[in-house]
Structure 1
Amino acid sequence: MARTIVISGGTNGIGKALARHYAELGDQVVAVGSSDEGGRRLREEVPKAHFVRSDLSSLRQTRDLVERLNAEHPMIDALVLAAFRFNPTRVETEEGFEHTFALYVLNRWLMAEGLRGPLENAATPVIINLCGAGQGGRIHWDDLQLKHKYRAVTATMQGARASELLGTAYASERTKYVLYNPVFVATGLHEPFKQPLRGIVRVASAAFAQPLAKAVPPITALIDHPPAEPFTTWKKGKILDRAVDRNEARRFEETIRALTQPG
C-alpha cells in the first residue's frame, strides 16, 4: 500500500534525495519548498513528486500549509523536517523573528504539532527531524532571536538544541519522533557564502562531505522501520544516548507555544 511522505525542504539536498527515493517506490510524496525554481527542478528530476510552495520561515504560511495538508492528506505516514538555511549574517523575517530560529525551530514545531492528526491515523507514523543533534548546542534564553552578537554557528547550534528539547517534549502514543544528525553531507553548503569563503567551503565539501548516496539509506531505514522508543536521537546511522532535561524541554515548549500564538 502506498504511503504518504511529507518532506519540508524537499527540493534540495537530502530532502530531494528522499523525495526521489520514495516517489520511485510509488509512494505519494509531498515536497515543500520556498521557491518556484526549486519546484521546477524537482518536477523535472522527480516528476512523480508533488511540489507545494511555502515560505517555511513564515508562521502565517506554515499555518496555511498545515491546514492544507490536513485537508488533503487525512493520513501521513512520515513527516521529514529538512528545511534549513545557513545565514552568514542575521536576517529577520517579516514577522520579526531571526530567520534561522523561524525556519529551524518555529516551523518544525508548528508542523509536528499541526500534523498530529494525520500522523496518528497512519499504521507506523514517524517524524524525522534532520538536525545537528548531539553537538552540544544551547538555548540563549536571554536573547532567543540573537539580536546581540549574532553568529551563524550560534544560531544553528541553538536550533539543534531546540530540536532536542522539542523532540523530548513531543508526547505521542503512536508517532515516533526521531532526531537524525547526518553530520557533513554534500548538499551545496557553500552556496550562502560570499567569496573567498564560498570557494573554501566548496573545496572542503568536496574533500570531506559524505555523499548523498551514503547519507540517505540510514534515514530511509528509520522511516521504513521506526524505532520502538517514542523519542530517539541518531548521528550518522548510530543511536545516541542523550539525556535531556525534561523540565527545560517543557519550559522551552511553553515558550515556543507562546511565541507562535496567532495575533
Structure 2
Amino acid sequence: MARTIVITGGTNGIGKALARHYTELGDQVVAVGSSEEGGRRLREEVPNAQFVRADLSSLRQTRDLIERLSTEHPVIDALVLAAFRFNAVRVETDEGFEHTFALYVINRWLMAEGLRDPLEKAPIPVIINLCGAGQGGKIQWNDLQLKDKYRGLTATMQGAAASELLGMAYSSERTKYVLYNPVFVATGLHEPFKQPLRGLVQVASAVFAQPVAKAVPPLAALIDHPPAKPLTTWKKGKPIDLAVDRNEARRFEETIRTVTQSALP
C-alpha cells in the first residue's frame, strides 16, 4: 500500500533526495518549500511529488499548512522535518521572531503537534527531525530570540538543542520520534555566506561533505522500519545516547506553547 510522506524543506538537499526516493517507490510525497522557484525545480526533477508552497518561518502560514495537510491527507505515515536556513546575520520575521528560532524551532514543534492525528492513523507512524542532535547546543534561556550579540552558529546550535528537548517532550503511544544528525552533507551550506568566506565553505563542502545520495539510505531505513523506542537519536546512521533533562524539556515545550499561543490568537 502506498504511503504518504510529508517533507518540509522538500525542494532542496536531503529533503528533495528523499522525495525522489519515495516517489520512485510509488509513495505519495508532499514536499513543502518556501519558493516557487524551488517548486519548479522539484517538478522538473521529481515530477510525481506534490509541491506545496509555504513560508515555514511564519506561524500563520504553518497553521494554514497544517489545516490543509490534515484535510487533504487524513493519514500521514511519515513527517520529515528538514527545513533549515543558516542566517549569518540576524533576520526577524514579519511576526517578530528571530528567523532561525521561528523556522528551526517553532515550526518543527507546530508541525509535529498539528499533524498528530493523521500520523496516529498510520500503521507505523514516524517523525524524522533532521537536526544537529548530539553537538552540544544550548538554550539561551535569557535571550531566546538572540537580540543581543547574535551569531549564526549560536542560533543554529540553540535550534539543535531545542530539537532534543522537543523530541523528549513529544508524547505518543504510537508515533516514534527520531532525532537524526546527518553531520556534514553537501546541501549548499555555502550559499548564505559572503565572499571570501563563501568560497572557503564551498571548498570545504566539496572536500569533506558527504554526498546527499549517501545520506538517504540510513534515513529511509528509519522511515521504513521505525525504532521501537518512542525517542531515538542517530548520528550519520548510527544510534547515539543522548542525555536530555525531562524537566527542562517540559519547561521548554511550555515556553514554546506560550509563545505560539500569544502569536496565534
TM-score, normalization: structure 2? 0.99
Matches within 5 A, 1:33-112: 33-112=33-112
Are 1:228 and 2:212 matched, yes or no?
A: no
- In 1, the alpha carbon distance for the partners of 2:27 and 2:218 equals 18
Aligned counterparts, 1:1-263, within 5 A: 1-261=1-261, 262-263=264-265
Summarize deviations over 1:145-190 as a string: whole Å, max 9, x none: 0000100000000000000000000000000000000000001111
Deviations 1:187-244 (A, max 9, x none): 1111111111111100000000001111111000000000000000100011111121
**Identity fraction in percent:** 84
5+ unaligned residues in a row in structure 2: which ranges?
Answer: none
Per-residue Cα deviation, 1:24-81 (whole angstroms, up to 9, x for no partner): 1100000000000000000000000000000000000000000000000000000000
Instruction: State the alpha-carbon separation in 2 of the partners of residues 242 and 16 from structure 1.
Output: 28
1:68-112 Cα distance to aligned partner (Å, 9 max, x none)? 000000000000000000000000000000000000000000000
- Root mean square deviation, CA, Å: 0.4
Q: Distance in 2 between matches of 1:126 and 1:250?
A: 21
Amino acid paired to 2:61 = Q
d(CA) in 1 for partners of 2:219, 2:24: 16
Q: Distance in 1 between matches of 2:19 and 2:66?
A: 19
CA distance in 2, matches of 1:213, 1:50: 21
Structure 1 residue 2: deviation in Å?
A: 0.2
- CA distance in 1 between partners of 2:3 and 2:216 (Å): 18
Q: How many residues align?
A: 263
SS in structure 1 at match of 2:88: coil
One-letter amino acid of the structure 2 residue matched with residue 93 of structure 1: T
SS at structure 1 position matched to 2:256? helix
Instruction: Classify the secondary structure of the residue corresponding to 1:122.
Output: coil
SS of match in other structure, 2:154: helix
4+ residue runs of structure 1 moved beyond 6 angstroms?
none
Structure 2 Cα separation of the partners of residues 144 and 38 of structure 1: 30
User: CA separation in 2, counterparts of 1:193 and 1:232?
Assistant: 33
Report the Cα distance in structure 2 between the residues aligned to 1:14 and 1:77, rounded to whole angstroms.
18
Point out where structure 1 has 5 or more consecutive residues left out of the alignment.
none
SS at match of 1:260: helix
